[in-house]
Amino acid sequence: MKEQEVDKFYGRRKGRPLRKHKTECLKDLDLYSIHLPLNLQMVFPGIQEVWLEIGFGGGEHLAALAEKNPEVGFIGAEAFINGVASFLQYRSEMNLTNVRLFANDVRLLLQQLPENSITKIFILFPDPWPKKKHHKRRIVNPKVAQELCRVLKKGGEIRLASDVPEYIEHMKHIFQLVPEFKLCFSSHEKPNDWPSTRYEMKAIEAQHYPHYLIYLKN
């Protein structure tokens, strides 16, 4: 499939200069990346389920899930190269062999994923873009929700979290626009099988209490 244009990406692609070890880890990026055009069978031969984390940040949630679920193939999408380097460090320390990375705007990946190909999708503490004039930059938007619905398997789930109450309302509004999505969990308490993320821990420290959502695709 030909790459189509996506709207401009507004987040950061680079941060502080990386320490030596992380720079070393980045040398492995090509080896553990998925490349477009995508062939999921070749990326994960023999694997039954593929889970996708969008904007994995430092990668702690992705690494914990991949370690707990060695029979699942994981795709981690993250546009911020420092986050990618951080995950690659976990990958090497934890010897994770079931994760492939997409170090770019996830919208380029979504348009290449086949219909009904992904069993679980995670979007945790996405950038809230709090100013009204910036809401259109949010990753949870009508176009992306349609794409998520297309790539998700029937019966598959999407897990979302935020510590910004207005963004939780925004997510609920956007997911309501897609009739296949059914909200089946909405709480300040998360299920036990849900590892923490760096932003989640920062939010809790600042006494901003996160809210967790799970949608199922009918």
Ligand X SMILES: C[S@@+](CC[C@H](N)C(=O)[O-])C[C@H]1O[C@@H](n2cnc3c(N)ncnc32)[C@H](O)[C@@H]1O
User: Binder to ligand X among 51, 167, 199, 212 (CB under 6 A)?
Assistant: 199
Q: Is residue 28 annotated as a catalytic residue, yes or no?
A: no
User: Binder to ligand X among 80, 87, 90, 215 (CB under 6 A)?
Assistant: 80
Which of these segments, 40-48, 102-110, 185-193, 205-213, binds ligand X (CB under 6 A)? 102-110
Taking CB atoms within 8 Å and a gap of at least 24, the contacts of 164-170 are: 164/128, 164/130, 164/208, 165/211, 166/128, 166/130, 167/126, 167/128, 167/138, 167/140, 168/211, 168/213, 170/135, 170/138, 170/140
E strand or H helix that includes residue 214? strand 211-217
Q: Is-contact 8 105, C-beta < 8 A? A: no
Question: Binders of ligand X among 115-174, rule CB under 6 A?
Answer: 124-127, 139
Q: Minimum Å distance from CB 192 to ligand X?
A: 18
**Any contact of residue 57 with ligand X (CB under 6 A)?**
yes
User: Binder to ligand X among 25, 65, 76, 83 (CB under 6 A)?
Assistant: 83
Nearest to 90 by CA among 21, 158, 38: 21
**Any contact of residue 195 with ligand X (CB under 6 A)?**
no
- The residue among 73 and 126 lying less far from ligand X, judged by its C-beta, is 126
Q: Which residue out of 105, 127, 163, 193 is catalytically annotated?
A: 127
E strand or H helix that includes residue 53? strand 50-54
- Paired residues of 212 in beta bridges: 161, 187
For ligand X, the binding residues (CB under 6 A) are 9, 11, 55-57, 77-80, 83, 105-107, 124-127, 139, 197-200
Instruction: Show which residues are catalytic.
Output: 127
